[in-house]
């Protein structure tokens, strides 16, 4: 995989122009951009289409989590938008995950459109071990992540989203069967912000991540393109 393909920049901004400015600035080096809940709620599908029209790839990170029928119908709409990747929340259960995978596959075969890669979110990077107890989860966080990754594999998903701290365990458990997309990436010396389980870009890839998601260290930098270039250099081991 080319180094440039490993980096996904999170457009965690609240407005259309701010997002498009970042894409225009970063496009010489960055091919993939994550649109999450804040930006999608503010701007909707129209912005997804605008970014796709630039030739960039969109990772739609809405973490779909609902009854199987509703989640599957939303997943088909994400597919119709033309995004390259989108997320569901694995805490929605195996039936929901399987229904999403099946409905997307059926839609793509019926209409002859490219199939996006479906990623299952395991445990949010903002959560620590202490946060799991009140949620009724007694097992260690790494075991919880691996168990959810196995649900993703059996349901026919393409990959999972996991913190860099669990990447190695997930890779050992699933081998090459799943993509691993890793948020919570912070360059050496950067502030962790609201992430509880972080790692540097190079460490995450060395542990087995296929793609890393980086937001504020790039988007809040004085020179976002330079910040992105530095991260790409770190991925190259330079």
Enzyme catalytic residues:
63
> Which of 33, 27, 20, 122 shows the shortest CA–CA distance to 83?
33
| Distance, CA of 130 to CA of 140 (rounded, Å) | 10
Helices (H), 27-183: 37-43, 45-53, 68-81, 94-111, 129-132, 141-155, 167-174
Two tokens at 49? 């289409």
Taking CA 188 as the corner, what is the angle to CA 182 and CA 191, rounded to the nearest 5 degrees? Answer: 80
Question: Is residue 128 classed as helix, strand or coil in its secondary structure?
Answer: coil
| Distance, CA of 214 to CA of 228 (rounded, Å) | 9
């Amino acid at each position: 995989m080319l180094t440039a393909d490993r980096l996904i920049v999170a457009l965690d901004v609240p407005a259309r122009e701010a997002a498009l400015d970042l894409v225009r600035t970063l496009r010489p080096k960055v091919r993939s951009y994550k649109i999450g809940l804040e930006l999608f709620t503010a701007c909707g599908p129209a912005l997804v289409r605008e970014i796709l029209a630039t030739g960039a790839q969109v990772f739609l990170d809405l973490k779909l989590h609902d009854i199987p029928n509703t989640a599957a119908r939303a997943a088909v709409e994400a597919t119709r938008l033309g995004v390259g990747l989108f997320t569901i929340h694995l805490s929605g259960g195996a039936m929901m995950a399987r229904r999403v995978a099946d409905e997307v596959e059926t839609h793509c075969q019926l209409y002859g459109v490219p199939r996006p890669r479906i990623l299952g979110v395991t445990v949010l990077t903002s959560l620590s071990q202490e946060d799991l107890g009140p949620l009724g989860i007694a097992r260690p966080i790494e075991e919880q992540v691996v168990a959810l990754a196995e649900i993703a594999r059996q349901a026919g998903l393409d990959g999972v989203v996991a913190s860099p701290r669990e990447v190695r365990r997930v890779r050992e458990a699933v081998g090459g069967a799943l993509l691993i997309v890793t948020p919570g990436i912070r360059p050496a010396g950067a502030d962790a912000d609201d992430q509880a389980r972080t790692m540097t870009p190079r460490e995450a890839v060395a542990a087995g991540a296929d793609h890393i998601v980086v937001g504020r260290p790039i988007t809040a930098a004085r020179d976002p393109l330079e910040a992105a270039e530095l991260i790409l250099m770190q991925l190259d081991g330079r």
